[in-house]
Amino acid sequence: MKRVFLAGALMFAPGILAAQGMASVDEALNSITEDDVRNRIALIADDSMMGRDTPSPGLEATANYVAGQFYSFGLKPLGDAGSYMQRYPLNETVWDLNASHITIGGTRLAAGEGFQVLFGRGSTGTISGNAVVVSGSFADENAASLDLTDKIVFAVVPTVNGDFEGRWPGLINSILRSGAASFVLVSQRSDEAFAAAGSFLERRSTVRAWAESGVGGAGYFEVRDSDVADALEMAGFDLAAARANPAAPITATPLTGEVSLELKQRIAGRASAPNVVAVLEGSDPELKDEYVVFSAHMDHIGISSRPNEDGDSISNGADDDASGTAAVLELAEAYSMMAERPRRSMIFLTVSGEEKGLWGSEYFANNLPVPTEQVVANINIDMVARNWADTIVVIGKEHSDLGETLNRVNAEHPELGMTAIDDMWPDERFYFRSDHFNFAQKGIPILFFFNGVHDDYHGVDDEVDRIDAEKEARIIRLNFHLGLEVANSDQRPRWVPESYEQIVNTSE
């Protein structure tokens, strides 16, 4: 009988061998192929998925594809009400203009008139307290040494031809990283440019429904000289003098009197987004109640406001993280084919909302479908199809004996031509920046496979034709061996005690 392939999901339906769970380790391993990896990434990173923003129809389509694959592998659903989907709640918020103000002494500025919101989602609450005005040359190398921690920071920024110089003044990053409570640009922008910024106030933002996004760092704002010069003078800062001397050494001048930001958003609608989760039950009567979790994020950043030269504006996220999603699928397929299943149970998880701030994994870690203490490890895979062909960075090796286990497994498989190396960028704190961190905080040892960023990172050219599927297939095989070792060994992985103390949140 001739086979007719009707839809993408059918293309990857496993063979008879898989359905019957009859495969040897080698046969299971051989199901992990370059072609499968490329085909899966091509499907997930297809333009029709529209960049898989959270929430979006493309994300839902991706989740449905993953769930369909889990079903075809014969995996047990571990989501809501016997399904593969674990949905988490989102709120859609808009700024409450009548209840949002910036106050400097006796001057009260209204949202959309006296101040604009340049960036911010979910900000709500009141910030008051120590305020400073930063002025002078932001190119001054002393900028980084100003102590702005927990302060409301007004920054007197240069304006050129009625608008900001460049896309953002260069200091913003250093101020945002300084731990400031909030950040207000003082500009001389034209009425047109200032009014145009008001469109942000009308936009709906989507935020997690279970946690208030704090006010600090969640937004930045703009006021103009004409509205605040008098108020700042009363509070001890001479704006005209600062404007007259833009090349002066950078300084932070404390303001006297009351300064506060009252920010309020109201809920304008409700939404939700999916995680997809399935389990392969372990073969050992006791150890099957322990779980190894493989995870990747299936969401990306959606449509870009900056199209490339060809007019392409879809951020496909082929490497970030269609590659990891494909890896989780290939692993799920391979393990589910095995005649002799791993001793511990294996959970396969694709989350969403990673790009928004690790939403899906946070929700999953707080709403685990199995007892937390029975999850023995999380192996997270995010961006594994670019850069070097024979090495992969694995972050978190030093924090538990999973690192040693990986080194040993890696040494046993020289045929892979793949070396798992230590974190190359400890200063970037990647350990704290992807989904595995939500597991680590719960006391679950983790490893994070990551090939590092590249020129196409979060750009519209992170496309399937730039990925190295052959390399990724070897990384997945390494993960297969690693997962098998962790699932089958008598001892569960153990933390390095100092790391446990430093990373695990024991206050709950």
**Which residues make up the interface to Zn ion (CB under 5 A)?**
320-321, 382
Minimal distance, residue 451 CB to Zn ion, in Å: 11
For 132-182, the DSSP string reads EEEES-TT-GGGGGS--TT-EEEEE--EETTEESSSS-TTHHHHHTTT-SE
Indicate the residue among 96 and 461 with the shorter CB distance to Zn ion: 461
Dihedral over alpha carbons 496, 328, 82, 444 (to 10 degrees): 10
Question: The tokens of 412 are what?
Answer: 């046993």
Indicate the residue among 42 and 358 with the shorter CB distance to Zn ion: 358
How many Å is the Cα radius of gyration of the chain? Answer: 26
Dihedral over alpha carbons 118, 122, 127, 130 (to 10 degrees): -50
Indicate the residue among 182 and 378 with the shorter CB distance to Zn ion: 378
Indicate the residue among 290 and 321 with the shorter CB distance to Zn ion: 321
Classify strands 116-120 and 219-224 as parallel, antiparallel or unpaired: antiparallel
Task: Give alpha helix (H) positions in 276-421.
Answer: 323-337, 354-357, 359-366, 402-411
Indicate the residue among 262 and 462 with the shorter CB distance to Zn ion: 462
Inter-helix orientation angle 34-44/57-72, to 10°: 150
Minimal distance, residue 113 CB to Zn ion, in Å: 39
CB atoms under 10 Å from CB of 52, counted, come to 31
Indicate the residue among 321 and 463 with the shorter CB distance to Zn ion: 321
Minimal distance, residue 391 CB to Zn ion, in Å: 19
φ, ψ at 13 (rounded to 5°): -55, 130
- Going from the C-alpha of 180 to that of each of 23, 54, 132, 135, 197, the distances in angstroms are 57, 28, 10, 15, 22
Indicate the residue among 95 and 448 with the shorter CB distance to Zn ion: 448
φ, ψ at 53 (rounded to 5°): -65, 160
Minimal distance, residue 349 CB to Zn ion, in Å: 14
The enclosing H or E element of 393 equals strand 391-395
Nearest Cα to 348, choosing from 305, 378, 320?
378
Residue the block writes with tokens 């493989």: 294
Minimal distance, residue 495 CB to Zn ion, in Å: 25
Minimal distance, residue 331 CB to Zn ion, in Å: 17
Indicate the residue among 66 and 287 with the shorter CB distance to Zn ion: 66
For 413-442, the DSSP string reads -GGG--EEE--S-GGGTGGGTSTHHHHHTT
Indicate the residue among 43 and 104 with the shorter CB distance to Zn ion: 43
φ, ψ at 391 (rounded to 5°): -135, 150
Indicate the residue among 332 and 383 with the shorter CB distance to Zn ion: 383
Minimal distance, residue 358 CB to Zn ion, in Å: 10
Indicate the residue among 71 and 432 with the shorter CB distance to Zn ion: 432
Residues 6+ apart with CB under 8 A from 61: 48, 49
CB atoms under 10 Å from CB of 304, counted, come to 15
Minimal distance, residue 383 CB to Zn ion, in Å: 6
Minimal distance, residue 91 CB to Zn ion, in Å: 24
Classify strands 159-160 and 163-164 as parallel, antiparallel or unpaired: antiparallel
Residue 79 DSSP label: S
